[in-house]
Structure formats: structure tokens, C-alpha cells
A and B are shown apart, each in its own frame.
Chain A
Amino acid sequence: GAGVSQSPSNKVTEKGKDVELRCDPISGHTALYWYRQSLGQGLEFLIYFQGNSAPDKSGLPSDRFSAERTGGSVSTLTIQRTQQEDSAVYLCASSQAGGSNEQFFGPGTRLTVL
């Protein structure tokens, strides 16, 4: 079946602009995660959605970052007023509910802020 998909694959934007990144998880996966992969910080957790529960936003680096998940499926990560330090690869993953279940990762969106 189809894996996790993300769009766009690459995004170049100017400092101060807003961007939206999209994630389509594997059908039937109730858990969805966003991570960020950058040279300086490695792989960092950003936010977690599980079913209809309130999301765990503890990894979001600032209030310029937000995410939503509509209908328990597609998720959008929004970065407002982008800064150069936001440049990174943003990864989405999905899994069966919690525990040690394998997280399946998408190919990522490479964001470059000029």
C-alpha cells in the first residue's frame, strides 16, 4: 500500500513569509508525528497527534509553529514569519497507536529560508 507522503518535496521561501507543509499518513494509522532534521540539531520531535486527543505540542520551538490534523488523517504544519534558522528537512511519520509500534516516515520537505 501507499506509504507516508509529504508535499511539497522542496520549498524555498523568503524570510518573513508563511509556509504550509502537508503530510498524508498511511491509511488507518491513528498516530502522526512531525520531526525536524537540521545540521545543527539533528532529528528533533515537534508535535504528536493521536486520534481525537489533544496534540502533544511540547516539541514546537516557538509560537510561530503550529499544526493541525483534519479528520484524523491529513496534517498540515504551518510556520509563520519564517526565519533562516527554520531551514531544515521536516519529516512526518505515522504509526498504529502508540507503544513501540514502528513509525513509518515520509520523504520529508526540505525548507530553505532565504
Chain B
Amino acid sequence: GNSVTQMEGPVTLSEEAFLTINCTYTATGYPSLFWYVQYPGEGLQLLLKATKADDKGSNKGFEATYRKETTSFHLEKGSVQVSDSAVYFCALSAPGGANSKLTFGKGITLSVRP
């Protein structure tokens, strides 16, 4: 079946540090890939997505590139801010079929120190 694996957390960084959060997936065909973010006290919201190989999703300074050859969708940001402190979830939805249910990774908590 489909699965998503995220690096273990939590992660603590100083402001303006470089961020990488690893995500790899297992799926047949070409799934769509997503990063969702959950800020403290708020609901899940889409951060970025990519729907085909070599696509790059970007938003709020975050980027992730869909790598079919390594089945990865690592999240990066060049300079994190305190406001980026949140829980980050990598997810996929399987290609084809009517149900676009999301399969999530375990999530990783990011804390950014001033």
C-alpha cells in the first residue's frame, strides 16, 4: 500500500537557519505530493504541492521538488523565522480512482528560537 516516511523529530533551529525536512514515499504510479502545516492552535492547512515528477512546489519561502527517481519530496527553506514554528506533515494522494484520500507521514515538530 501507499506510505509516507518523514524524518524523526522534533527539530529546533535558530532564526535564519537553513531548514530541510526529509520525506520519502512508497506508491504505485505517480501520486500527487503535499506538505501540510499545523500552526499552534490552528487547523491543518496546505503549504505546497506538486503533481508530477520534477515539479517544484513553493509557498512562503518553502520549496519542495518531486523526485521520482528517489521517491522523495524534501521540504526546504533558506532562512526560517520564529513564525515557522509548527508541525509539518508530508502527504500523498494516489493517482487515478475517485478517492483522493491523503496518506500522511507522522509529522515533525519544528521550533525556531529567536
Question: Which residues does A use to contact B, with CB under 8 Å?
Answer: 31, 33, 35, 42-45, 48, 50, 53, 56, 59, 91, 93, 95, 98-108
Contacts and interface: CB of A to CB of B under 8 A. Distances in A.
Interface string B75-95: 000000000000001010100
A99 B8 CA distance: 29
A43 B99 contact: no
B23 to A, nearest CB: 13
A48 B101 contact: yes
A33 B36 CA distance: 16
Interface magnitude class on chain B: 20 to 34
B103 interface: yes
Nearest to A44: B104
A contact patch SS: strand
B43 A107 contact: yes
Contact of A45 (B49, B98, B103): B103
Contacts of A50: 98-99
15 contacts: A42-B104, A43-B91, A45-B103, A56-B101, A99-B32, A100-B32, A100-B49, A100-B51, A103-B46, A103-B100, A104-B46, A105-B44, A105-B45, A107-B42, A107-B43
